[in-house]
Chains A and B, each alone.
Chain A
């Protein structure tokens, strides 16, 4: 292992039995025993030769689609399962910030669950006694402490769980998608707590679908795709790569047998130069070049913008703006341009669009839909906090 590394994975493979993943009944086994003589068993490779290391005090984000192998890596590191081949070296005490509800029992009260969950993640009873008030205060649930937690909301579950975990004292912290629940304020609290861990020199491995959180917390990230490490580098560059792969996948999918063909999509500045960074309040032009492959009536074009968390913060359609729908004849090429004033705060945003209308006189719903057509970054922050106002205009050139 390289010096200063606390975790080193070298060429790690993990296979699961396919089809028989999960338990069996004796009957099935007896039957398959007869059937499978001479037949090869099917395997599913969750990890295919993954190698990476984690330096002391470093925070590493692990991103990728569902089924990419992210959780398998955490399971191997948490000693829950063992790799099929390859080596895993670890130095120091590993703490896991697991899916928070796993250690709870719904019939028990908040107070009882604090002790139970604390013990499961490795806190000593004396230690919990000492920090009990702190834990309760952090969770903000003091008035529900003696209520069975089956009456809690999912957000309250998460808050209770995280409050206990926040008092963990590991050398390496594994975090598995914990920020997906809880309200905005609490999510911020969690991120701050994790930063505190980081400042104390704890090395962190953070698995998440929340790119904003990965960016905030981790300097470095790795991208997994179907069990293979695709790239490894600064979290900004890895997240960009992730979006790029995703959108090209989507383009490839959308190419065939569609009523509309996408010729070009770009986000440009007023000077017509393609751009990624914008200042708050700057004008952006979202331009699409499309070709109708069938006769489309009552067409309307929409764009929507999502924050990195996935929330749609803005959604507008041409029909609403112009109070008019369009008919497109076959093989007609058109350009749609949305003019947006990016009155947004600092952060990463994604633009998606859709086309609706009817084909051959039949309403077709969304003729084309792209969740993640392109993305952009708003740099610098303005001092005001507020609601985004994009002051939309649209022009059509058919």
Chain B
């Protein structure tokens, strides 16, 4: 346990590297594209548009009485943040191999900066979402403050998965190729295009063990429905799962960190 605090202190000690590498990620991502930072909102917006056409016009998916664009965007916001973070974290260490081979700083800085860069996109998309809430005249309540712990929880979960895939990808490049497939499946296993309410009652306990299910559902509840997250229903179990996963992933990462340079 003391070792983890020491490791965290070391990240803090190297915060300038973290900051600069994050800045690099953000700048490089948009530097050569004409639309630049617009891509940050284009991805969730276009997914929202497609989902709205397919799942509210062609196939009538219930949306708990919320306009479907709002319904799907509230879920895409955390989902795109999650999947983009995982995707870029997975290759973050391998992409930086010539740096990693020459100089030491905590290696978790690479996946963390990938997450921070994705978080910037998340914030931009979040602003668009706020504008949409106003446009659809959604009543915002004080329960929106729950967004802070929910967001923190999501970041912890993303961090856990990122640390794990980033390290695993050093050893097996299969990981990077598997991620698009896995996230695709994961999205259907999470309430992105449909509400939790259509999941059969008897499958619910299993379904809600997926931390993203709880997180996405909470986003919707807090932002659109204006109610508090449903902690009573496995919410606390999810919190425990996430903290445990993060602890395991970080310990695993730190354990094999020193061999990255030998394997790459």
Contacts and interface: CB of A to CB of B under 8 A. Distances in A.
A129 to B, nearest CB: 12
A75 interface: yes
A23 B263 contact: yes
B262 A29 contact: no
B209 interface: no
B24 A116 contact: yes
B236 interface: no
A188 to B, nearest CB: 25
A135 interface: no
Interface stretch (B44-52, B102-110, B193-201): B102-110
A121 B263 CA distance: 23
Nearest to B94: A23
Contact of B102 (A99, A107, A115): A99
Contact of A119 (B19, B31, B94, B261): B19
Given A16-B262, A23-B264, A124 B16 contact: yes
A195 interface: no
Interface string B7-37: 0000000001101110110011001100000
Contact of A25 (B31, B32, B173, B261): B173
Contact of B105 (A22, A116, A120): A120
A98 interface: yes
A133 B163 CA distance: 39
Interface in B158-195: 170-174
B26 to A, nearest CB: 11
Interface in B207-221: none
B28 A107 contact: yes
Main secondary structure on B side of the interface with A: helix
Contacts of A75: 101-102, 261
A87 to B, nearest CB: 16
Contacts of B16: 119, 124-125
Interface stretch (A78-86, A303-311, A319-327, A357-365): A78-86
Contacts of B20: 115-116, 119-120
Interface in A1-46: 16-17, 21-27, 29
B176 to A, nearest CB: 11
B173 A23 contact: yes
A119 B102 contact: no
Contact of B100 (A23, A80, A99, A121): A80
Interface in A100-118: 101-103, 105, 107-108, 112, 115-116
Contacts of A80: 100-104, 261
Contacts of A102: 98-99, 101-103
Nearest to B16: A119
Contacts of A25: 172-174
Interface centre among B31, B98, B102, B174 (most CB of A within 10 A): B102
13 contacts: A22-B263, A23-B94, A82-B259, A101-B98, A102-B102, A103-B103, A108-B28, A112-B27, A115-B20, A116-B20, A119-B16, A119-B20, A124-B16
Interface of A: 16-17, 21-27, 29, 75, 78-82, 96, 98-99, 101-103, 105, 107-108, 112, 115-116, 119-122, 124-125, 148, 176
